[in-house]
Structure 1
Amino acid sequence: MISQLIFFILFAVAIVFFARNAKKIYRNIKLGRATQRTDNPGERFRIMAMVALGQQKMFKKPLAAILHVFVYVGFCIINIEMLEIVIDGLFGTHRVLSVMGSFYDFLIYAFEWLALAVLVSCVIFFIRRNVLHIYRFGGRELLKWPRTDANIILITEILLMAAFLTMNAADGKLQQLGADGYHTAGAFPVSQYLVGLLPDNINGLVMVERFCWWFHIIGVLLFLNYLPLSKHLHIILAFPNTYFSNLTPKGKLNNIESVTAEVKAMLDPSLPPPSGEVTRFGVKDVQDLTWKNLLDAYTCTECGRCTASCPANITGKLLSPRKIMMDTRDRVTEVGKQIDQKGSFEDDGKSLLDTYITREEIWACISCNACVEQCPVNINPLEIIIGLRQYAVMEESQAPSSINGMFSNLENNGAPWKYAQADRANWANQ
C-alpha cells in the first residue's frame, strides 16, 4: 500500500504540474492577435496527417528521417506500456495486461525491438550533434542552453530505453526462477541477451527489476514536465501547428488590413472610411504577432533546416530563421513570466525588435521562402520578419538606403527602378 500511495502522489503531482505549465503556454500563445485558420478543415486534416503524423517533409534528408521515425514511433508506441505501468502502480498488480495472452507476448516482443531502435537512433543523433558537428547544429543561437537541452533529451531517451530493456531482462529471469509474483508473461527477444549481466539470486533480481521500473516511470513523468521547458514540445504542438498551416501560396505576402482599407477608401470615395483606431502598423513586440506566429515559436524543433537552406545565412549574413523563432519564443515566455508575477504586462523597456532581433537580421532576408519550404512542421519565420520590417518602415521610417531609394522610385516612377514610366519600353528598341 505504501508503494501504491507513493506512486499515486508522484503521478498526480506530475499531471498537475504539466497541466499548469500547459495552461501558461496556451495563455502565452493567446497573447497574439486573432487570425483566421479554421477554413477548409478537410485540407487541414490532410496536411496534419501528411506532415505531422507522416513526417513527409522530414524525408528531404532520408537518413535523419529514418532515424527520427524510429525514435518517434518507438518512443510513442513503447509508452503505450505506460497504461500497464499506471494500472500496476495504482493497484499493486504486475503485468496486468498479460491476460491478453499471446497478443501481450507479441506486444512486448515488438516493444523490445522498438526500444532498441530508439536507443541506437539516439546514440547516432548524439554523435551527429556532438562529434560530427554537422553545420545545421551550429550557430550562435545553439551555443548554451539549446545545445544542453538537446543532449538532455537524447541522454534521457537512451537511459529510459536501457532501463526498459534491463527491467524486462530481470523480469524474464525472475519468471524462469519461479519467483513469487512474477508469472510467465511477455517475450524478450532483445533483453534476453542482458540476463548474463544480472545477479543470480532472486532478491538481487527483484531489486534490479523494481529499480528499473521506478526509474522508467519517474523518468517518463519528469520527461512529461520537461517538455514545456524544451524544444521537444513539438512532440505535442506539431499536430495543431500543421493543422493551422497557411493554405495560401507561399509567395503571397499579407497586407496590413487597415492600410488596405485606407487605400481603397482613397481610391473610391464611395466607400466608407475605415472604422476603428489602428494601434500599430507592423510588429514591434510579440503582442503584435498573431497567435499562429506564437504557436510557430513554441513548435520550433531547432533542427536548423531553415537556417541551413537560407541564402542569406549561407553567404555569411547575420540572419538565421531558426534564431528568429527562438527569439520570439524567448520573448513571449518573458512576457508570460511578467504576467504571472504582476497579473498583467507592463512595459519593461524591451521589445522583440532591437532587444532580441536586430535590424541587420530582418533586412538580410530576401523573402525567398526557403525556410518555410524546409521546415518539417510548417513554421513560417518570414511572416515575423515581414512584420518587423513593416513596423520599421511605417512607424519609424527607418530602412536601409537602398530600400529608401526603391520607395522613392515607386512613388515617383511607379516602379522600383529610376527610369520614368515613358522610358520603360526602351529596352525593346535596342
Structure 2
Amino acid sequence: MSKQLVFIIVFLVAGGVFGFTCMRLRRFFKLTRPSFPIDRIGERMRLTLMVAFGQTKILRRPGIGLLHALVWWGFIVITLGTAEMMVDGLAGTERFLGALIGPLYDVIMASGDVFAAFIVFACLAFLFRRYVMRVKRFRGVEMTPGANIDATIALMLILLLMVSLLGMNIGYVKTHAGNMVGMYPVASQLQYLIPDSGAHAFHEINWWTHICLVLVFANVLPYSKHFHVFMSVPNVFMSRLEPYTKIANMESVTKEVKAMMDPNTAFANPPEGEVAVVPRFGVKDVEDVSWKNYADALTCTQCGRCTSVCPANTTGKLLSPRKIFVDLRHRMNDKGPGLIKDASYSDGKSLVGDYISTEELWACTTCNACVQECPVNIDHVSLIMDMRRSLVMEDSSAPEALVSMFNNIENNGAPWQFSQSDRMKWAEDITVKPA
C-alpha cells in the first residue's frame, strides 16, 4: 500500500471524527438564544488584528505574555507548513509550495524551524510554571485534577509536534543536502546528531509522527481547554462592542412592554404554525444562554487572569469569573445531548443553583475587571447579570438589602425609605445667600 493511499485513509478517518464533533457543537449552538448582530465589520477587523493576532492583552504581563505570544505567532507560521504537508500527503507531492512562492518559501520554512525550537523551550517553561512554580491562578475549585491533566496532555502534544517537526526537518536536511528546498537553520545545526545511513527512515518516521499528531490534536482540541486555538480569533472578532458597563435590554421584557403598550397584541393568538412560548426572564439554564455566551465558554483558556484581578475573589468571596464559564461548558455537555433529543428534557438540575451558586453571582461588583483583562474578550459580567435577572424576576430571590431597595422603589419611587414629600427635609435648615 502506497504512502499516499495510507495518508488518504488516515486523513478521511480523522476528518470524519472532526466532522462529527463539529456537528455536535452545531447542535449545541442551536439550543442557545440569539445575541447581538455582527456589524461594524471594520471595527471588528481592527480589534481582531490587535487582540487576537497582536496579542495586546497577553502582553500586558510582559514576561510570560511574550512567551505565549511567540508560541502563537509560531503556530501561525508552522500551520502554513502543516497545510503544505496535508496537500503533499493527499496529492503525493513533496514540498510543492517551494516551486510556487520561491524565496518566500525559504523565509516561511526558516521561520517555522526557529519557532519550533522556541516552542519546545516554551512548553517546558509552561510545564515548569504549572508543576514546579505552582502559579496561584492555575489553582481553584474549578481547576480539578482533570483540568490539570487536560492542560498537561495539550502541552505534551504540542511538545511532541514540535520535536517531530524538527526531526522531520533534520532528516530532510540530511538527505537533501545538495537539492534542498527551503532553509532550516536549526535543523542544519542538529543534522550531525543522526547518521547518514538512517536519515531517510528518520525523516519518514518523524513525518508520519508529526502528521498523525496534528490530526489527533485537531480532534482532541474541541474537548480541551486548548480549543481556544481554534476559537480565539473568531471569538475576538465577534466581541461585544458596546461599553462594558452598558447592560443589554432583555428581549422578553421588551416584548412584554410592547404588549402593554398595544393591548391588541397582548391577547392575540400566535401566528399559524407557531406555538406560544412563555418567556423566561434571564438565564436559568443552558437553553437560556446566548450563542455568544456559549462561544465564550468554548473559547475560555482557563488561564485565570480574570479571577486573578477580580476584587471579589481577591477579598475571599466565592466568585471566580473563570468558574462561571467552566461550569457553563460542563453544563452544556451534561444537558445538551438530552435537549437535542427532547426539547423538554430535564435532569432536575440547572446551571444556576446546582453548578453556580447564588452566593457567587451576588458577589460580583460588576466592575468589569475580568472583561478588561481577558485575552480572548470573554464577557463575564453580561452572563452574570442575566443569571441575576433570573434569580430576581423568576425566583424572587435577592439579598435582603436589595429586597428593601425594591420595596422602596415600589412604594416611594426611589431607593430610599422615605416618601417623596420628605425628600428635601435634609435641606430645610440650610440657608443660602442670594446671588
Q: Output the TM-score relative to the length of structure 1.
A: 0.90
Distance 1:401 1:274, change over 3 A: farther
CA contact (8 A) 1:413 1:420 kept: yes
CA contact (8 A) 1:261 1:274 kept: no
| C-alpha deviation, 1:413, in angstroms | 2.8
Does 2:159 correspond to 1:158?
yes
In the alignment, residue 392 of structure 2 is paired with which amino acid? Answer: V
Alignment match, 2:124: 123
Distance 1:416 1:129, change over 3 A: farther
CA contact (8 A) 1:297 1:328 kept: yes
Deviations 1:135-158 (A, max 9, x none): 221111112222111121111111
Alignment match, 2:182: 186
| C-alpha deviation, 1:8, in angstroms | 0.7
Listed as ranges, the matches of 1:225-304 within 5 Å are 225-260=219-254, 262=256, 273=266, 278-304=278-304
How many Å separate the matches in 2 of 1:368 and 1:271?
A: 42
Distance 1:416 1:232, change over 3 A: same
| C-alpha deviation, 1:263, in angstroms | 5.0
Distance 1:96 1:264, change over 3 A: closer
Does 2:207 correspond to 1:206?
no
Alignment match, 2:210: 216
In the alignment, residue 123 of structure 1 is paired with which amino acid? Answer: L
How many Å separate the matches in 2 of 1:285 and 1:375?
A: 24
Deviations 1:20-52 (A, max 9, x none): 211211221221112232232322333233222
5+ long unaligned stretches in structure 1: none
How many Å separate the matches in 2 of 1:360 and 1:55?
A: 34
Alignment match, 1:52: 52
5+ long unaligned stretches in structure 2: 269-275, 431-435
In the alignment, residue 121 of structure 1 is paired with which amino acid? Answer: A
Deviations 1:216-242 (A, max 9, x none): 000001111111111222222223322
CA contact (8 A) 1:37 1:246 kept: no
| C-alpha deviation, 1:356, in angstroms | 0.9
Does 2:74 correspond to 1:80?
no
Distance 1:358 1:170, change over 3 A: same
Instruction: Name which of structure 1's ranges 401-410 and 272-281 shifts more when overlaid on structure 2.
Output: 272-281
Instruction: Name which of structure 1's ranges 132-141 and 97-106 shifts more when overlaid on structure 2.
Output: 97-106
Listed as ranges, the matches of 1:273-352 within 5 Å are 273=266, 278-339=278-339, 342=341, 346-352=345-351
Instruction: Name which of structure 1's ranges 45-54 and 223-232 shifts more when overlaid on structure 2.
Output: 45-54
CA contact (8 A) 2:281 2:390 kept: yes
Alignment match, 1:174: 175
CA contact (8 A) 1:7 1:90 kept: yes
CA contact (8 A) 2:77 2:111 kept: no
Distance 1:401 1:190, change over 3 A: same
Alignment match, 1:410: 409
Distance 1:414 1:67, change over 3 A: same
Q: Secondary structure, in 3 states, of the residue corresponding to 2:133? A: coil
How many Å separate the matches in 2 of 1:269 and 1:216?
A: 64
Q: Secondary structure, in 3 states, of the residue corresponding to 1:108? A: helix
CA contact (8 A) 1:166 1:194 kept: no
Q: Output the TM-score relative to the length of structure 2.
A: 0.89
CA contact (8 A) 2:59 2:65 kept: yes
| C-alpha deviation, 1:384, in angstroms | 1.8
Distance 1:404 1:167, change over 3 A: same
Q: Percent identity?
A: 44
CA contact (8 A) 2:252 2:279 kept: no
Distance 1:114 1:386, change over 3 A: same
Distance 1:140 1:47, change over 3 A: same
Distance 1:337 1:174, change over 3 A: same
Distance 1:346 1:370, change over 3 A: same
RMSD, matched Cα: 2.5
Does 2:393 correspond to 1:401?
no
| C-alpha deviation, 1:293, in angstroms | 1.2
